Chains A and B, each alone.
Chain A
Amino acid sequence: MAGLFGVLDLASRSMFVVQSNIQTTAHNVANVDTPGFSWQRTVLAASPSIRTGAGQIGTGVEQLTVQRISDQFVQAQLVQEESSSAAVRVQARVLSSVEEVLNEQAGGGISGPLADLFSAFADLASATAPGAPVERQGLATTGRTLAETFHGLDRQLRDQQQIVDGQIGSLVPRINSLLARIASLNGAISNQEIVSPANDLRDERDRSVRELAQLIDVDTFEADNGGLVVMIAGGLTAVDGAKARSLALVPDPTNPFDPSFTRVMFDDGTTQSDVTADVGAGELGGLLRARDSLLPAAIRSLDVLAYNLTTSVNAVHNAGVGLDGSTGNFFVPMVGVENAARDVALEARISSNPDAIAAGLTAAAGDNRNALDLADLRDAAAALALPGDPPGPPTGPTRSLLEHASAVVTDVGQQVSAMNDAEEQHVRVMDVLESRRDQVSGVSLDEEMSGLVRLQAAFQANARVLSVVDQLLHDVVSLL
């Protein structure tokens, strides 16, 4: 039965709905710059009408819920993209620093000192003065400089490796705390959603998942109760409902570079399993790849250069005789390719007594035949010995040492350039996805303002209804 009191009630309820609408608008406006905030809107419906003999009479408006506008498809793509672009980003960063270490355009690198050694051999060969004391001294110094350059470059690359390992160490606690946070948000969301959608908590959970995705590869799906199941490292369930697992780091005594380098373990509550090889993306994936594959490749390519230099120079040097009649190696011979750049050194007898340098095939002061052969090594191409070569002839590509030195740099340059392109690509994709997310979930101030104007009018109209009803009631009361 319609009546003035009913209308009074209807008008006041609709004013309440308008107010709540205004609050949601204010909430949107307040969060216009909040990262990860999703635009919200109140969902309204006409309240159930009353059936009378004269037809259905409306009873006003009611607020069904506050809806969060988000696109789960875009969110899932963003999560994927965060992981792969973070992995590329850290690898590009590490590779560029390798490139800086080896950069020859800026006058650094190994080719210069290596060419200097061959020049010193050539100077010894063409020297006029009997015994070439100046050239011998110069050659010994050049040899030492070359060895020190190898040591310096090797050290810088290994320092990079240490830094990367340190970063891996600091990532794991961050991953663990994010996993715990997602789990606790899961708990809060399923509790609250018994009553109504937990819009802002979901925003925060999406944000945490994206943050996690930057650190490690993540797969998610939503369970029926609103809880998010998070899988990391290629499918290990790390968060299920309000329960979170964690990662741990253990030192790897078998690591060929440093036994304190760690492996990543997944702790499922009872046992730990090694997942180092399974972490595919995210900063952790990128850093692991940098530490265990990119940097080792760079270090080993210097090793290959140092080892092959040592063996080829020694082979020729051994054929000759020093001014003092002695014979022997020029560089300290190497056991294997591994760590050759770290260990390469001039023989002590050469370093302390340059007369031991075998310039000739006899001890004659003017004999330069062996020095000529040593200088010829500059352009001599031979198959290079590689790390892990089986006994027998070397298996590497046939190159001269200088060619190999510049190939090392060019290879790194190629990798960096490819990695930069990939990073650029990822940035563009990320841009598109972020734009799409903002398009769907971002706050538009124009939209909010026009809504606000509308709401203001609605509020005024409802107030008007209220005042008319008040007037009518007043009229009724005055009749009594």
Chain B
Amino acid sequence: MLTRVTNLMLQRQMLVDVDRTRLRLARVQEQASTGLRINRPSDDPVGAGEAAALRGRLDSTAQMGRNLGQADVRLRATEASLGEVNNVLLRARELAIQGANDTLDAAGRAQIAAEVEGLHARLLSAGNARAGGAYLFAGRASDASPFVASGPFVNGSPAPTVAFVGDPSEIEVEIDEGARMASTLDGQRVFQGDGDGDGSPDAGKEDLFSVLGDLRDALLANDRNAVAATSDRIESGQGQISEELSRVGSRTARLESQRANLDRREEALTTRLSDVQDADSIRVLSDLVREQTALQASLEATARVIQPSLLDFLR
């Protein structure tokens, strides 16, 4: 219980009250000017920890988005190359059927052979396609052409052979935390049907280069039966390519769904981060007004209380 109220008491109490109000006002003003509820970890250690974790996940989500972009470029380029291969094979099959026709003479077959040589060159350049400076079908050895022909076509000698000098591998990209997806195709498997790396086509697969080479040789040799035989091989080569195309398609689909997934995640994380660390602007404004009023009131009360003493009433 107070028995005496002295001048120092009044003065101190007023200073303490005004200081406290000013401190609260300063905090609210900081929130208003930064728009953040948490300006330093001590404002809310738990919230600051969560905000840091959320920023980390946002960062990682953005990184995955960039990874997807890179994979997308490669998959699109791969798809385009495979489309070109498909066209080459389609035309080659037409030519093979045409070349197997009884009515054709040697000169006619030689003419078709010349076109097949052109198709062979197109196939080679599709195999050596590049995206962003990298050879798509070279696997990890992406800085050099994966397919090398033993020489040019020479009349009278057999077609040149094409060797795979790349790396029989697919380059993986991280598309989600801990999840990887191959973003290229193994060139040896696509173009030479050799998925197990033993140097010869697997069962039911074809080396597309040698199929075209054989077709050209058969046409030049005017061997109708041999020409007809390549026609079936080309057909199975087409199956091989459409198998690869569907592989690319399923990867593109996975990539798109992952992209949608990341977008949703980013939105959820951003919303949560804002919930955790942003100041509620309406509350901040009303707090600001309240603290300003409190400060004014406390200053006014002080001014009234501190002035009068008995001295003012003594004559």
- Could you list which residues of chain A lie within 8 angstroms of chain B, going by C-beta atoms? 32-33, 39, 96, 99-100, 102-106, 111, 115, 118-119, 122-123, 125-131, 360, 362, 364-369, 372, 375-376, 378-379, 402-403, 405-407, 409-410, 412-417, 420, 431, 434-435, 438-440, 442-447, 449-450, 453
Q: Judge if B56 is at the interface, Cβ distance under 8 Å.
A: yes
Name B140's contact: one of A119, A125, A367 (CB within 8 Å).
Answer: A367
Between-chain CB contacts (< 8 Å), 17 pairs: A33-B8, A106-B40, A115-B59, A115-B60, A122-B174, A128-B133, A364-B167, A365-B144, A366-B139, A366-B140, A410-B48, A413-B43, A416-B40, A434-B12, A435-B13, A446-B310, A449-B310
Name B142's contact: one of A102, A130, A434 (CB within 8 Å).
Answer: A130
Q: Judge if B36 is at the interface, Cβ distance under 8 Å.
A: yes
Q: Judge if B134 is at the interface, Cβ distance under 8 Å.
A: yes
**Given A442-B9, A444-B4, 4 further pairs, Cβ under 8 A:** A126-B174, A127-B70, A365-B140, A410-B49
Which residue on B lies nearest to A371, using beta carbons? B174
Q: A115-B59, A128-B131 are in contact. Are A444 and B5 (CB under 8 A)?
A: yes
Which residue, of B13, B48, B55, B133, has the highest number of chain A Cβ atoms within 10 A? B48
Interface size class of B (residues with CB under 8 A): 35 or more
Q: Judge if B141 is at the interface, Cβ distance under 8 Å.
A: yes
Q: A115-B59, A131-B143 are in contact. Are A439 and B4 (CB under 8 A)?
A: yes
Is A105 within 8 A of B41, CB to CB?
A: yes
Q: Judge if B311 is at the interface, Cβ distance under 8 Å.
A: yes
Q: A410-B41, A444-B6 are in contact. Are A105 and B135 (CB under 8 A)?
A: no
Name A407's contact: one of B43, B49, B174 (CB within 8 Å).
Answer: B49
Chain B residue contacts of A444, Cβ below 8 A:
4-7
Q: Judge if B173 is at the interface, Cβ distance under 8 Å.
A: yes
Is A379 within 8 A of B63, CB to CB?
A: no
Is B39 within 8 A of A105, CB to CB?
A: yes
Per-residue A-contact encoding for B1-21, CB less than 8 Å = 1, 0 else: 011111111001100100000
Interchain CA distance A443-B49 in the complex, whole Å: 51
Q: Judge if B129 is at the interface, Cβ distance under 8 Å.
A: no
Chain A residue contacts of B52, Cβ below 8 A:
104, 111, 405-406, 409-410
Interchain CA distance A372-B49 in the complex, whole Å: 27
Q: Judge if B74 is at the interface, Cβ distance under 8 Å.
A: yes
Chain A residue contacts of B59, Cβ below 8 A:
115, 119
Q: A128-B131, A130-B142, A444-B7 are in contact. Are A368 and B309 (CB under 8 A)?
A: no
Q: A33-B8, A379-B177 are in contact. Are A129 and B134 (CB under 8 A)?
A: yes
Is B310 within 8 A of A445, CB to CB?
A: yes
Chain B residue contacts of A435, Cβ below 8 A:
9, 12-13
Which residue, of B3, B73, B133, B177, has the highest number of chain A Cβ atoms within 10 A? B133
Interchain CA distance A405-B49 in the complex, whole Å: 10
Is B42 within 8 A of A413, CB to CB?
A: yes
Report A434 CB to chain B, min CB distance, Å. 6
Name A449's contact: one of B131, B177, B314 (CB within 8 Å).
Answer: B314
